[in-house]
Amino acid sequence: MEDNNVVILNGSGRSGSNGYLFYKYLQTNHPEYNVTLVEPWPSSHFKWETWQKIGAARYVITTHQPFKVRKNQINLQFWHGVPLKRMGIMANNTRRKDNKRNEKLWHKNADIVASSSDLYETLMSSCLAIETEKYRKVGFPRLDYLQNPVISKEQLLKDLFNTEDKQAEIGIYMPTFRYELEDQSIMEKIKEGNFFAFEDFDGDELNDALKARHQYLIVKLHPYEMRLFANFDSKYSNIAFLNNDYLFDHNYDLYELLGDTDFLMTDFSSIYFDYLQLNKPIVFVTNFLKQYEKTRGLLMGPYEEITPGISVNSQRELVQSLDQLDNQQIKNRRLYWLDLTNQLKGDNYCEKAFKCMTNGE
């Protein structure tokens, strides 16, 4: 085992992957380390050479379950977001046997758990029973990439909408994984192209409303939902579907593009905690709020208190909100939640994580 061998087990694809962006960072800034990116993780199709590299690594980085092969390896756990939805022992839809196994895994395999705040540590430990001494407040690598997009807003507009517009406002819609609601009617709506699964959805009407305001909406669905989606090639001028192919083909992670957007739309995705770094408007789509609270549950509430933005329950409410996505009261609430979820000011999260991993700082 060489001290400069690093293996990154990336289970997050290109949708805000701390692992992938830390890999990019190490390649550029620490060429003295041999870094191997293993994805998708987990998988049953790895070659023997890949397992050899995992076994020979001094440092094993994970974005999901902590993992290592040897006791003397160091596992650095980045996880994949500040949790809002309940998971593990806090969730309504998990089994005690699985939770006990997970608890043992974290105890045995996680050496360093990257953290951003006391609140993050409280939420994670309530779900996964992580011991407090494992946490290090170093922040998350993907946050370094939010403020400096890899391409310009003009280029993103050209790539995804094939247009130029000096007045353009770009929004991105990123819902959570709705399949776990186990509601076939939601999946049917998505199959038909109703990506919001609104009762009053009308794609052409929504497109016209966006067009009239020089607004453009990027839709980034969960890969499972994208596979269901019939209208994959958008027939709309102001709505585009972002799939993983675009990100993989260009070696981008989604977070390297987020800084080009002007507002975020989501439901219960923890992306909104990260998006607070940009101090831009967030719209919360609440048409399945009651179902989520019942099926899985949220870690904090009431929902309207923990979501610093406008809430919409239908397309009619969404269109009515498009002219006025922000105000001073909402801005103040965003800053309040930013302070709660990220106690580390500034950036260089990748370097902080690197030093912590290699020097125990």
Q: Is the pLDDT of residue 129 over 90?
A: yes
Task: Give the pLDDT band of residue 335 (cuts 50, 70, 90).
Answer: very high
For the segment 233-257, the average pLDDT, to the nearest whole number, is: 91
Q: What percent of the chain has pLDDT over 70?
A: 94
Q: What is the DSSP letter of 171?
A: E
Q: Tell me the CA distances in angstroms from 77 to 18, 50, 186, 357, one per residue in order.
A: 10, 20, 33, 10
What are the residues whose beta carbons fall under 8 Å from the beta carbon of 262, sequence distance 6 or more?
169, 170, 171, 280, 281
pLDDT digits (tens, 9 = 90+) for 93-128: 889 999 999 999 999 999 999 999 999 999 999 999
For the segment 193-221, the average pLDDT, to the nearest whole number, is: 94
Note the pLDDT of residue 312: 95
Phi first, then psi: what are they for 35, rounded to 5°? Answer: -110, 130
Q: How many residues are present in the chain?
A: 361
Q: How many helices (H) and strands (E) does the chain have?
A: 15, 12
For the segment 240-261, the average pLDDT, to the nearest whole number, is: 94
Can you list the domains of the chain with their CATH numbers? 5-139+347-359 (3.40.50.11820), 146-341 (3.40.50.12580)
What DSSP letter does each residue of 285-328 carry, written as one string?
Answer: E-TTHHHHHHHT-BSS--HHHH--SEEESSHHHHHHHTT----H
Q: Is the pLDDT of residue 179 over 90?
A: no
Q: Tell me the CA distances in angstroms from 327 to 118, 286, 333, 336, one per residue in order.
A: 28, 20, 10, 15
Q: Is the pLDDT of residue 178 over 80?
A: no
For the segment 59-80, the average pLDDT, to the nearest whole number, is: 95
> Which pTM was predicted?
0.92
The more confidently predicted of residues 191 and 307 is: 307
Phi first, then psi: what are they for 139, rounded to 5°? Answer: 80, -170
Q: What is d(CA 282, CA 247) in angstroms, rounded to the nearest whole number? A: 23
Note the pLDDT of residue 38: 95
